[in-house]
């Protein structure tokens, strides 16, 4: 018996070209490391002769003296070729071959029958019927036998290789099929979850085809809000509810008009079946399925919120008008009462002293000043701008503010940084700075420090007036900008509202930062480049 080991992962006659199984990697195929040939003959001398002729380093020869012994070998091992004698006692070659071919694991093994030449006519047909692939006739030529066996071994190797490839491919396909089944089951769960959420969502939701512009599916909220029936929407275009993309009901976005692109949180108006115009917030998402494009539309109806906001705004305006009217009446009634009293006194006594006339003039001036300050609140008041440096305005006011602070035993500190020129109405900016400075001084006790600073930052010039007082109570923050609201005994309540109006007329933003350590009023003036962009945005 001879044996040898060789690598059969690349058999010489198998290239894998033009074969669907070539997609499987060789690393996935396990082949036996040793090839074995089973020789079955009941005559020992025949076994010796066959072994001597077929001895090779490429395979191992295994001999069996009967069909039963051969079958026992086949239960334990795998063979590349079986050389089987026809005439054997008990279990002949034909029956042995039939049993080998009936077994699933061994039916692929090529069987070569060995028989005498004189018996060829009666054995050949029967041998092929039971599964033989070839015959060797005694006496045989050693070279012919050797070549036949080598050819059969190569064929067996290729067959086994293909069989293992098929098994590996089958196992791979089973694994892929199982994964696909799992993924399909998961997708079905996701689809069921999506449909459940889609159907019960309080938002109006619809799926629309981008290929022909028709609605594929809508949820119940869509039908409830629009008043349409399901069959009236499905298969129709977006003209059904006439969705208009707008921004604060003023500007239409034509690029969205066909509902064909992704958008997020865009104000829209849509029309119901009865012709009612409603407001909503629209978001869309693009999707592609089976090479078709779809658009998911989600509309949050805000009609009720808009209605409530408008009502609240209307009531707030009435409330503000009432407060302003009460303030004006209170502030102007006082000087008018004084003047009326002096005139009554003059009527009774026939004359007024110069002191009385001066008091009446003062009261008239006070009433005129209140009216002038009130008119300063107007947003459309004309401003005369010119290029000025805000630091120069502060430097010019500094002696006046410093004198006011000195009289109240307080300190003024300037922290001015280099700033670009701004387009300002210097008279109004003077009033703004004086109002903020006087408010800051009045908010501090003796020894307090008021800091006025400027800084250029991100296209803005920031003016900040910071006091070291006790801060502003949180409940008063929403009221301090209301005209005629004041916490001072002699105040008119117009100082801060005027400051806000001046800031608005200069496209500036005014902020308040307050705490127990003091309050800072900051005004952000846009530089010329930033101002051009703001105006350009407003024009578009």
**Residue 31 reports pLDDT greater than 70:** no
Among 289-298, 322-331, 418-427, 525-534, the range scoring the smallest mean pLDDT is: 322-331
Categorize the per-residue pLDDT at 394 as very low, low, confident or very high, splitting at 50, 70 and 90: very high
Which pTM value belongs to this model? Answer: 0.37
Categorize the per-residue pLDDT at 450 as very low, low, confident or very high, splitting at 50, 70 and 90: very high
DSSP states along 238-286: GGGTT-EEEETTTEE-GGGTTS-S---SEEEEEE-TT--EEEEEEEEEE
**Residue 512 reports pLDDT greater than 70:** yes
Q: How far apart are CA 74 and CA 87, in angstroms?
A: 20
**Which pairs from 426-429 meet CB under 8 Å and 24+ separation?**
426/386, 426/388, 426/393, 427/384, 428/383, 428/502, 428/505, 428/506, 429/388, 429/390, 429/393, 429/502, 429/506
- Mean pLDDT, the chain, rounded, equals 77
Average pLDDT over residues 526-535: 63
Between 261 and 388, whose confidence is greater? 388
- pLDDT for 53: 85
* Closest to 411 (Cα-Cα) out of 447, 454, 436: 447
Q: How far apart are CA 278 and CA 299, in angstroms?
A: 11
**Residue 135 reports pLDDT greater than 50:** yes
Between 474 and 117, whose confidence is greater? 474
- pLDDT for 492: 58
Average pLDDT over residues 97-120: 81
What does the block give as tokens for 21? 């199984």
Beta bridge partners of 112: 83, 134
Among 191-205, 231-245, 252-266, the range scoring the smallest mean pLDDT is: 252-266
**Residue 342 reports pLDDT greater than 80:** no
Query: DSSP state, 488?
Result: S
Q: How far apart are CA 102 and CA 315, in angstroms?
A: 97
Show the beta-strand stretches assigned E in 302-421: 386-388, 411-416
Expressed in percent and rounded to 5, the helix, strand and coil fractions of the chain are 50, 20, 30
Average pLDDT over residues 362-375: 66
**Residue 467 reports pLDDT greater than 80:** yes
**Residue 21 reports pLDDT greater than 50:** no
Average pLDDT over residues 395-414: 89
**Residue 316 reports pLDDT greater than 60:** yes
Between 107 and 244, whose confidence is greater? 107
- pLDDT for 248: 47
Categorize the per-residue pLDDT at 244 as very low, low, confident or very high, splitting at 50, 70 and 90: low
**Residue 456 reports pLDDT greater than 60:** yes
CA atoms within 13 A on the CB side of 122: 5
- pLDDT for 389: 92
Q: Check residue 19 and give left, alpha or beta (phi > 0: left; psi -120 to 50: alpha).
A: beta
What does the block give as tokens for 76? 């334990």
Between 263 and 420, whose confidence is greater? 420
**Residue 250 reports pLDDT greater than 60:** no
- pLDDT for 140: 76
Q: How far apart are CA 241 and CA 214, in angstroms?
A: 12
Average pLDDT over residues 178-197: 81
The C-alpha angle 428, 383, 390, rounded to 5 degrees, equals 45
- pLDDT for 531: 54
Three-state SS string over 27-45 comes to HHCCCCCCCEEEEECCCHH
* Phi, psi angles (nearest 5°) of residue 535: -65, -40
Between 37 and 376, whose confidence is greater? 37
Matching residue, tokens 């070291």: 468
Categorize the per-residue pLDDT at 474 as very low, low, confident or very high, splitting at 50, 70 and 90: confident
Average pLDDT over residues 164-181: 86
Among 449-463, 475-489, 496-510, the range scoring the smallest mean pLDDT is: 475-489
Handedness of CA 290, 291, 292, 296 (dihedral sign): positive
**Residue 298 reports pLDDT greater than 70:** yes
**Residue 29 reports pLDDT greater than 90:** no
Average pLDDT over residues 490-516: 80
Any residues with CB less than 8 A from the CB of 222 and at least 6 apart, and which? 204, 205, 206, 233, 299
**Which pairs from 100-104 meet CB under 8 Å and 24+ separation?**
100/70, 100/71, 100/74, 100/131, 101/130, 101/131, 103/74
């Amino acid at each position: 018996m001879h044996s040898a080991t060789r690598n059969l992962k690349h058999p010489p006659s198998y290239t894998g070209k033009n074969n669907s199984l070539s997609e499987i990697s060789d690393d996935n195929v396990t082949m036996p490391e040793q090839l074995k040939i089973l020789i079955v003959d009941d005559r020992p001398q025949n076994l010796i002769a066959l072994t001597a002729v077929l001895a090779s380093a490429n395979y191992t020869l295994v001999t069996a003296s009967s069909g039963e012994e051969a079958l026992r070998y086949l239960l334990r091992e795998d063979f590349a070729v079986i050389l089987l004698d026809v005439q054997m006692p008990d279990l002949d070659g034909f029956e042995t071959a039939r049993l080998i071919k009936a077994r699933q694991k061994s039916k692929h093994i090529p069987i070569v029958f060995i028989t005498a030449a004189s018996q060829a006519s009666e054995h050949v047909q029967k041998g092929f019927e039971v599964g033989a692939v070839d015959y060797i006739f005694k006496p045989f030529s050693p070279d012919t036998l050797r070549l036949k066996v080598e050819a059969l071994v190569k064929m067996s190797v290729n067959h086994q290789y293909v069989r293992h490839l098929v098994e590996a491919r089958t196992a791979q396909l089973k694994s892929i099929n199982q994964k696909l089944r799992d993924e399909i089951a998961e997708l079905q769960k996701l689809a069921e979850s999506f449909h459940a959420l889609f159907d019960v969502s309080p938002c109006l939701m619809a799926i629309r085809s981008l290929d022909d512009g028709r609605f594929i599916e809508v949820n119940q909220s869509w039908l409830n809000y629009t008043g349409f029936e399901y069959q009236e929407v499905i298969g129709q275009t977006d003209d059904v509810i006439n969705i208009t993309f707008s921004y604060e009901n003023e500007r239409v976005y034509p690029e969205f008009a066909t509902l064909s692109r992704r958008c997020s949180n865009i104000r829209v108006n849509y029309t119901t079946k009865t012709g009612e115009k409603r407001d909503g917030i629209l978001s869309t998402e693009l999707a592609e399925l089976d090479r078709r494009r779809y658009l998911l539309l989600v509309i949050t109806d805000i009609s009720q919120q808009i209605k409530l906001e408008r009502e609240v705004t209307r009531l707030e305006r009435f409330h503000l008008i009432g407060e302003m009217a009460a303030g004006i009446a209170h502030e102007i009634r006082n000087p008018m009462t004084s003047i009326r009293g002096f005139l009554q006194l003059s009527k009774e006594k026939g004359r007024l002293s110069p002191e009385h006339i001066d008091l009446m003039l003062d009261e008239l001036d006070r009433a005129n000043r209140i009216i002038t300050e009130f008119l300063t609140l107007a947003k459309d008041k004309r401003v005369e701008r010119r290029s000025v440096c805000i630091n120069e305005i502060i430097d010019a006011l500094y002696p006046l503010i410093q004198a006011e602070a000195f009289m109240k035993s307080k300190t003024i500190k300037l922290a001015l940084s280099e700033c670009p020129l701004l387009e300002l109405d210097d008279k109004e900016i003077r009033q703004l700075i004086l109002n903020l400075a006087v408010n800051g001084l009045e908010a501090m006790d003796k020894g307090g420090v008021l800091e006025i600073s400027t800084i250029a930052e991100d296209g803005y010039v920031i003016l900040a007036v910071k006091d070291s007082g006790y801060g502003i109570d949180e409940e008063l923050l929403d009221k301090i900008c209301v005209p005629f609201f004041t916490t001072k005994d002699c105040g008119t309540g117009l100082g801060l509202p005027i400051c806000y109006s001046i800031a608005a007329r200069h496209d500036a933003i005014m902020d308040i930062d307050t705490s127990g350590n003091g309050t800072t009023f900051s005004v952000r003036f846009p530089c010329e480049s930033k101002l051009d962009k703001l105006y350009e945005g407003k024009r578009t």
